[in-house]
């Protein structure tokens, strides 16, 4: 898909912006705090209705104003072209229009435009706590599997209720028959938990393989990345969801006394992790900054590939500050990869000095300065 | 806000605001409505509220609301006493009754198991249920709690821990959930579709 025009009004540091991006690689270059990340963010919001950086929508509205508008014309090959409009206001509910049709339920407009974003926060997937990796899994799998969304909501609710009950049992507040109900919560936990584990296992299998290939290419065949699912208890690599559920119930039985003594659930997807080994070493602990960034980038390219397979056309690729920490060799391979991927790409950086000349030749280069964007050379 | 109103009016607005689903704006509209209607209508409304609280109680047998000792369903001789539908709340019973389809009797639990809200089995009308089932008259129990995590858990608890141990010959069924009748696949939300798929049955 192709963004052929982007219009912003009172979004972050943009008073008004009109942009006609080029079809392939678009490079946004500028000093710090000029609006490069903001611009990429606006495209991500048009695709997902949400920002990854802002904790509240109000942060997106230009200070001193009360309403911001984002609008993009996106041409697609496998579906109708989309004119996507979003209005975010301090007082009213967020509103979207898709080809002029009004929506206030955001779930109805997600997926009309597809985008994959790499930003600084994604490094936490590699180097952060396990919760970062679980959030990444949930977010990615949810995008393509309604069943997973359903299981996730049911699992969280069940876990909350079960933890509450275990705490009551520990503190002897569970009532005369409270303890008897744990077994029923166990079944619920295992049912929804097995669905999550099954989804995560399949996703990591596929994503890991793709990421590994990308990673190998970007690192000039020097680094071998192996991504594996690390559930809170071992499961058969090929067993079906029913088998996982049975194993779940067996395991939860084994921690019966400990759970009641500690007052919390001790196994399940809330304790899952993903291991990323580079040449056999845990990259979370031993990876260099460049190596960690390479992994995060490889994950995003793998995600891009998965989405393309699913929707039948390349999604937008938004790469914020992707080049820092990478040496020239890795940068070169990354540019090759961007070219091969075939996604319309929006890349931000502080300088184009180290860019390969042939890449610059074919790219659309834009200078971003104080919320103004101008085509280079002017 | 109450400073904008005369005291008695502020009091009424405040009372309306406590009602479920009523915000400050609706509360104000309702209170002004009460002031506009004829005085005897307003008295009738107040009397109805007092009356319902003094006369309505729970049916001794099933837990439904009634102004008698036993509700009109439990005393109806045409009802099939061997078929029992278990619901969480009296309002679910009323929803079921509106269909005019179900000819059995009910049992109202008056809640669902929810540790977060401090509701365990001892807070539900389970002892009464055990009494009714031990008579040997009920042959089938339909578990009609909502398809939520708590509703499912409650249904499973009743089936495994209460009904089966008491009388394994009682048939236990769970209401199906999925597509609304006359519903359009295109418009159903995904959770509904998933459960419709899960609860599919063979066409013969
Ligand atoms: N709601 C807002 N209203 C006005 N200005 C805002 C708003 N939100 C962010 N800004 C400003 O936008 C500016 C540019 O932010 P942005 O993150 O896009 O910079 P950048 O060009 O990506 O810089 P860097 O190279 O440091 O990453 C910041 O100075 C910030 O203060
Ligand atoms: Mg930035
Ligand atoms: Zn009754």
Residues A231 and A276 grouped into a single domain: yes
Q: What does the pLDDT read at residue B173?
A: 95
Categorize the per-residue pLDDT at B53 as very low, low, confident or very high, splitting at 50, 70 and 90. Answer: very high
Which among A150, A164, A183 has CB closest to B116? Answer: A164
pLDDT surpasses 80 at B202:
no
- Which residue is associated with the tokens 């009802």? B79
Tens-place pLDDT, residues A149-182: 889 999 999 999 999 999 999 999 988 888 899 9
Q: Mean pLDDT check: name the lowest of B58-67, B126-135, B192-201.
A: B192-201
CATH class of B69-202: alpha beta
Q: What does the pLDDT read at residue A105?
A: 83
Q: What does the pLDDT read at residue B183?
A: 66
Domain that holds residue A31: 1-114+315-378
Q: Is A108 part of any domain?
A: yes
A347-360 average pLDDT score: 92
Q: Inspect the interface and report whether the beta carbons of A161 and B191 lie closer than 8 Å.
A: no
Categorize the per-residue pLDDT at B186 as very low, low, confident or very high, splitting at 50, 70 and 90. Answer: low
State the distance from the centre of ligand 2 to the C-alpha of A378, rounded, in angstroms: 23
Burial A48-85 (b: 16+ CB within 10 A, else e): bbebebeeebeebbbeeeeebbbbbbbebeeeeebbbb
Tens-place pLDDT, residues A305-327: 999 998 899 999 999 999 988 99
B3-8 average pLDDT score: 83
Specify whether the CB–CB gap between A313 and A78 falls below 8 A.
yes
Phi (first) and psi of residue A195, to 5 degrees: -65, -40
Residues A224 and A352 grouped into a single domain: no
Q: Which CATH number characterizes residue A286's domain? A: 1.20.1050.90
Distance between CA A324 and CA A170 in Å, rounded?
A: 50
List chain B domain ranges: 7-55, 69-202
Q: Is A375 part of any domain?
A: yes
Structural domains of chain A, count:
2
Percent of chain A's residues with pLDDT above 90: 81
Of the three residues A262, A295, A312, the one that is the final residue of a domain is A312
Output the CA–CA distances (angstroms, integers) from residue A108 to A79, A365, B187, in the order listed.
Answer: 16, 34, 11
Nearest Cα residue in chain A from B192: A150
Percent of chain B's residues with pLDDT above 90: 79
Q: What does the pLDDT read at residue A378?
A: 67
Categorize the per-residue pLDDT at B69 as very low, low, confident or very high, splitting at 50, 70 and 90. Answer: very high
pLDDT surpasses 90 at B203:
no
Q: Inspect the interface and report whether the beta carbons of A176 and B123 lie closer than 8 Å.
A: no
A152 touches chain B (CB under 8 A): no
Question: Strands, E, within A136-251: which ranges?
Answer: 225-230
Ligand 1 pocket residues where CB is under 6 Å:
A 12-13, 30, 32-38, 59, 61-63, 321, 348, 350, 368
Nearest Cα residue in chain B from A142: B190
Helix (H) / strand (E) containing A195 = helix A182-218
Categorize the per-residue pLDDT at B188 as very low, low, confident or very high, splitting at 50, 70 and 90. Answer: low
Categorize the per-residue pLDDT at A236 as very low, low, confident or very high, splitting at 50, 70 and 90. Answer: confident
A215-222 average pLDDT score: 90
The separation between CA A216 and the C-alpha centre of its own chain, rounded to angstroms, equals 22
Residues A156 and A298 grouped into a single domain: yes
**What topology does CATH give the domain B7-55?**
Helicase, Ruva Protein; domain 3 (1.10.8)
Categorize the per-residue pLDDT at B187 as very low, low, confident or very high, splitting at 50, 70 and 90. Answer: low
Burial of A10 (0-12, 13-18, 19+ CB in 10 A): buried
* ipTM of this complex prediction, to 2 decimal places: 0.80
Report the residue of B114, B115, B166 to disrupt the A interface, i.e. the one with the largest count of A CBs within 10 Å: B115
Question: Strands, E, within chain A: which ranges?
Answer: 2-11, 14-19, 25-29, 67-75, 82-89, 95-98, 101-103, 115-118, 225-230, 273-278, 281-282, 316-320, 345-349, 364-369, 372-376
Average pLDDT score over chain A: 94
Residues lying with their CB under 5 A of ligand 3, a single-atom ion: B 59, 61-62, 64, 71, 74
Quick one: which ligand is closest to B90's CA?
Answer: 3
Q: Where are the alpha helices (DSSP H) in A49-129?
A: 123-127
Q: Is A66 part of any domain?
A: yes
Q: Which of A14, A29, A36, A57 to mutate to test the pocket of ligand 1 (most atoms within 8 A of CB)?
A: A36
Output the CA–CA distances (angstroms, integers) from residue A174 to A253, A262, B149, in the order listed.
Answer: 19, 14, 19
Report the relative pairing of strands A345-349 and A25-29 from DSSP bridges.
parallel
Tokens (6 digits) for B187: 């418009």
pLDDT surpasses 80 at A9:
yes
Residues of A in contact with B148 (CB under 8 A): 157
Of the three residues A312, A340, A368, the one that is the final residue of a domain is A312
Q: What does the pLDDT read at residue A261?
A: 96
HSE-up of residue B95 (Cα within 13 Å, Cβ side): 12
Q: How far is B111 from chain A (nearest CA, A)?
A: 15
Q: Inspect the interface and report whether the beta carbons of B116 and A154 lie closer than 8 Å.
A: no
Per the DSSP assignment, residues forming a β-bridge with A347 are A27, A319
Q: What does the pLDDT read at residue B195?
A: 74
Which residues have CB under 8 Å from B60's CB, separation 6+? B69, B70
Tokens (6 digits) for B166: 């008491």
Categorize the per-residue pLDDT at B42 as very low, low, confident or very high, splitting at 50, 70 and 90. Answer: very high
B48-54 average pLDDT score: 94
Residues A289 and A350 grouped into a single domain: no
Q: Is the dihedral of CA B66, B70, B76, B82 positive or negative?
A: positive
Tens-place pLDDT, residues B77-113: 999 999 999 999 999 999 999 989 999 999 999 999 9
pLDDT surpasses 80 at B75:
yes
pLDDT surpasses 70 at B204:
no
């Amino acid at each position: 898909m192709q963004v052929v025009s982007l219009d912003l009004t009172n979004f972050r540091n943009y008073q008004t912006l009109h942009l006609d991006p080029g079809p392939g690689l678009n490079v946004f270059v500028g000093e710090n705090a000029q609006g490069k990340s903001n611009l990429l963010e606006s495209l991500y919001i048009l695709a997902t209705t949400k920002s990854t950086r802002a904790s509240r929508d109000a942060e997106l509205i230009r200070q001193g104003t009360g309403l911001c508008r984002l609008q993009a014309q996106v041409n697609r090959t496998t579906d109708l072209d989309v004119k996507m409009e979003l209005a975010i206001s301090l007082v009213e509910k967020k509103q979207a229009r898709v080809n002029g049709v009004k929506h206030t339920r955001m779930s109805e407009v997600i997926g009309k435009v597809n985008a994959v974003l790499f930003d600084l926060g994604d490094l936490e997937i590699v180097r952060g706590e396990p919760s970062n990796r679980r959030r990444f899994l949930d977010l990615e799998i949810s995008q393509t599997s309604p069943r997973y969304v359903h299981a996730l909501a049911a699992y969280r609710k069940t876990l909350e209720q079960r933890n509450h009950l275990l705490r009551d049992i520990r503190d002897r507040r569970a009532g005369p028959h409270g303890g008897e109900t744990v077994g029923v919560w166990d079944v619920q936990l295992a049912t929804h938990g097995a669905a999550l584990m099954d989804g995560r296992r399949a996703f990591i299998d596929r994503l890991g393989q793709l990421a590994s290939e990308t990673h190998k290419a970007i690192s000039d065949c020097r680094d071998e990345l192996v991504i594996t699912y690390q559930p809170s208890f071992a499961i058969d690599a090929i067993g079906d969801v029913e088998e996982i559920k049975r194993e779940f119930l067996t395991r939860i039985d084994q921690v019966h006394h400990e759970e009641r003594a500690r007052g919390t659930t001790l196994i399940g997807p809330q304790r899952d992790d993903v291991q990323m080994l580079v040449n056999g070493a845990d990259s979370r602990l031993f990876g260099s900054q460049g190596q960690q960034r390479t992994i995060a980038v490889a994950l995003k390219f793998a995600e891009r590939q998965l989405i393309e397979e699913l929707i039948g056309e390349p999604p937008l690729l938004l790469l914020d500050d992707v080049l820092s920490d990478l040496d020239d060799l890795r940068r070169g391979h990354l540019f090759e990869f961007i070219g091969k991927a075939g996604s319309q790409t929006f890349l931000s950086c502080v300088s184009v000095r180290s860019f390969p000349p042939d890449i610059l030749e074919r790219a659309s280069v834009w200078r971003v300065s104080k919320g103004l964007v101008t085509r280079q050379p002017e | 806000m109450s400073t904008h109103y005369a005291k008695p009016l502020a009091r009424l607005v405040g009372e309306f605001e406590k009602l479920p689903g009523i915000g400050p704006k609706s509360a104000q509209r309702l209170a002004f409505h009460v002031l506009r209607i004829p005085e005897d209508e307003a008295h009738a409304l107040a009397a109805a509220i007092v009356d319902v609280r003094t006369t309505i109680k729970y049916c001794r047998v099933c837990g439904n609301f009634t102004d008698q000792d036993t509700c009109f369903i439990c005393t109806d001789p045409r009802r099939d006493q061997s078929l029992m539908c278990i619901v969480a709340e009296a309002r679910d019973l009323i929803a079921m009754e509106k269909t005019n389809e179900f000819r059995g009797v009910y049992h109202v639990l008056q809640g669902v198991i929810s540790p977060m809200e401090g509701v365990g089995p001892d807070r539900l009308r389970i002892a009464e249920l055990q009494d009714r089932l031990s008579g040997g008259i009920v042959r089938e129990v339909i578990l009609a709690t909502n398809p939520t995590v708590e509703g499912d858990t409650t249904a499973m608890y009743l089936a495994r821990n209460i009904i089966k141990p008491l009388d394994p010959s009682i048939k236990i069924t769970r209401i199906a959930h999925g597509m609304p009748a006359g519903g359009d696949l295109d418009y159903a939300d995904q959770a509904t579709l998933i459960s419709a798929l899960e609860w599919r049955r063979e066409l013969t």
